[in-house]
Amino acid sequence: MNITWYGHAAFGITGTNVDGEPVRIILDPYNYPECGGYLPINEEADIVSISHENRRYHSDTSAILGNFQLFNGLDYTGSTRTACGVEFSAHQVYESPAGDGPNALVKFRLEEMTLAHLGDLGHPLDRAGCQFLEDCDILLALAGGPPTLALADLRELIRSASPHLVIPMHYKTPKVNLNLLSLEDFLTAFSGFPIENPGTSSLVVTRASLPKEITLCTLQHAR
């Protein structure tokens, strides 16, 4: 599986499905220029997955190429959908502890690994949310703090889910027009965890290469 961080909460995932066919997945694409300075995601996809309708930061498909299938997590909370031989599932969460802004955690299985995206989660998870993430191998984690999940709550979530690999996203860079914490703030809050920094925007992961303990992996933004 190849994982590319485009910027903000957007990723490109490529791999082979259960039938051995190649599949290209794009997660939570932002809008250029409304998101800030991240450049358009003008690549082909077979599937585009969004955590909710938020064109500026999480659901703009206007630059994406190809005849892709759209998976909106909020349409499938508590259920599954198979697209291009990949099974997706979702769990409803909110952007704040008060229940504002419904959105979804989304996960799927590819090449014998389960990958989960935290969407726009803004509150500690309840038991059902924790159970949804129990089989997660790779977690795309909200690292910028409020208005999304506080870092102390994220730390508890990660300890509960116990993924092999945690890739931070949705944090402050010069290219996003949101007031978020920086990657350095995230790494300080997670001192004590092993950290990998490949110095690239992409990472190749196999079942055999997954680290044995929870490991943070920081990627550069591709856009």
String of DSSP letters for 129-178: HHHHTTT-SEEEEE-S-TTS--HHHHHHHHHHH--SEEEEES-B-TTB-S
Stated pTM of the model: 0.96
The pLDDT value recorded for residue 30 is 98
Return mean pLDDT, the chain.
97
- Asked whether 14 and 20 are in contact (CB, 8 A), the reply is no
Per the DSSP assignment, residues forming a β-bridge with 69 are 47
The pLDDT value recorded for residue 131 is 97
Q: Is residue 222 part of a domain?
A: no
- Asked whether 139 and 114 are in contact (CB, 8 A), the reply is no
β-pairing, 2-7 with 202-204?
A: antiparallel
The domain total for the chain is 1
pLDDT digits (tens, 9 = 90+) for 103-127: 999 999 999 999 999 999 999 999 9
Q: Is residue 12 part of a domain?
A: yes
pLDDT beneath 50: ranges in the chain? none
As a dihedral over the C-alpha atoms of residue 77, residue 83, residue 86, residue 87, rounded to 10 degrees, the angle is: 20
Q: Is residue 55 part of a domain?
A: yes
The pLDDT value recorded for residue 214 is 98
127 residue type, one letter: R
CATH code (residue 78): 3.60.15.10
pLDDT digits (tens, 9 = 90+) for 3-25: 999 999 999 999 999 999 999 99
What's the Cα-to-Cα distance from 206 to each of 49, 113, 188, rounded to whole Å? Answer: 22, 8, 28
- Here the tokens at position 118 are 């935290």
The Cα 186–Cα 13 span in angstroms is 23
Range of the domain at 22: 2-217
Q: Is residue 76 part of a domain?
A: yes
Q: Is residue 59 part of a domain?
A: yes
Q: Is residue 45 part of a domain?
A: yes
